Structure 1
Amino acid sequence: MTVLEQGITLDVFVTERAEDVDDLLGMYTNFLLEEFDRIGELAFGNAAAGYLLTSFIRCDDHNIGFFSLDPAGYSVELIYLKPEYRGRGIATLVLQHLKQHCPQQLALKTPLSPGGEALADKLELGRADNLPHEEATNEDVLQVIRAGIKATCKHGKSAGNPSKPCKRCYQKTLRRYAVEALNKVVTETRQVLALRAGTSSRR
């Protein structure tokens, strides 16, 4: 655990802790839904992955947010705070800490929200754009989501707007997407740990 100031700490996300998985899933789902309300589409960025270091932002021993850090790219993939904790300078405090301990210029992964752009400017952080293979993967995911909604949803058609995905079904799909994405990370991590344990026991 890392103490930033009185009451504000950082604690590593652990896949073996059920409460960690539940908390991260809840906040990641809320991030996706909030961004959908803002941009009308799936917002890219992983809460957890094999290439990321994910930590909770804690206030008085409660998880109030998280960030996922790509140490190889010196970039923050996502940073999220629950709405009731925004506007207190907590995200600034976290990013200042990461910047201070980053061996190169710390960057925020694009695209950024208006708040993210303001933080990047304020703290003089770089921007890390998606690589071509990431762009291609993102587009593939979007096409799968849109096709799935189009094939199963009748709300948009009944509302007389077949050209746009149904908001209700898109939100439902985002919730399912969050569960599947996080479960994949948890399963893969546990498989790696089990393999390591088996290898150690045979030595």
Structure 2
Amino acid sequence: MISPNPSGGAVLRPLDVLRTDDVNSVITLFGHYLSEEFERTKEWPDGTPVGATLFTTVMEVEGDVIGFASVDVALNAVELVYVAPAYRRRGIASAVLGEWRRQCPRALCAKAPVSPTGRRLMDSLGIPEAPRSAEDLTEIERAHTEAYAYVAAQCGHKRGHPGRPCKRCCQKHLERASVSAVMMYVNAVRAGKLALT
């Protein structure tokens, strides 16, 4: 169990997929993450907040979920950490990762690629970046190609690069992707098809 109030005034606890507020908050925050990363990199973002091998923690301030973090327990690797902009630079993400490092029986690493901000955080905590396998990279590239192709087929604006949809259509798709990614996992857990990590 994670300490209830390690830093920054946040309460840290496991994501509860039976709590509608938790699920909706993670969907919203994941959508913000996807949007921010797409804006920053102009590429399809990697990572997901939930999954069969992921342990996900939510961060609360005064009852509001203001962030989440997920670790792949099979690889002992940080999958994703996101804190809402208004709550950044308070030590909340550092506290979560520090607690995970204390509790994990093996050394914690971060799944590549890591954003520049994430890299600074991981470096400050001594968490190395684990390179992706060739199979992972191939799967990521396939997923990105399919996403762009799907959105491009839906995009009626046809601005810029002919093989890429416009920014507005990409952002709309990322909003839908945040709902889809979280709800597929939540529905599988609620239906008993997937055990909680």
Q: Normalization by structure 1: what TM-score?
A: 0.87
Corresponding residue of 1:139: 141
In structure 1, list runs of 5 or more residues that go unmatched: 196-203
In structure 2, list runs of 5 or more residues that go unmatched: none
Correspondence for 1:16 among 15, 18, 21: 18
> Aligned in 2, Cα 1:135/1:14: closer, same or farther, shift over 3 Å?
same
Deviation at 1:162, TM superposition (A): 2.4
Residue identity (%): 34
RMSD over equivalenced CA pairs, Å: 2.0
Corresponding residue of 1:153: 155
Deviation at 1:194, TM superposition (A): 9.5
**Structure whose residues are more often helix by fraction:** 1
Aligned partners of 1:194, 1:165: CA distance in 2, in Å?
35
Paired residues of 1:105 and 1:126 also in contact (CA < 8 A): no
Corresponding residue of 1:201: none
Corresponding residue of 2:103: 101
Correspondence for 2:126 among 109, 112, 124: 124
Deviation at 1:160, TM superposition (A): 5.2
Q: Which residue type is aligned with residue 61 of structure 2?
A: C
Q: Normalization by structure 2: what TM-score?
A: 0.89
Matched, 1:73 2:75: yes
Q: Which residue type is aligned with residue 3 of structure 1?
A: P
Deviation at 1:26, TM superposition (A): 0.3
Determine which structure has greater relative contact order: mean sequence separation of CA pairs < 8 Å that are 6+ residues apart, divided by chain length.
2
3-state SS in 2 of match to 1:53: strand
Q: How many residues align?
A: 193
3-state SS in 2 of match to 1:43: coil
3-state SS in 2 of match to 1:28: helix
Deviation at 1:184, TM superposition (A): 0.8
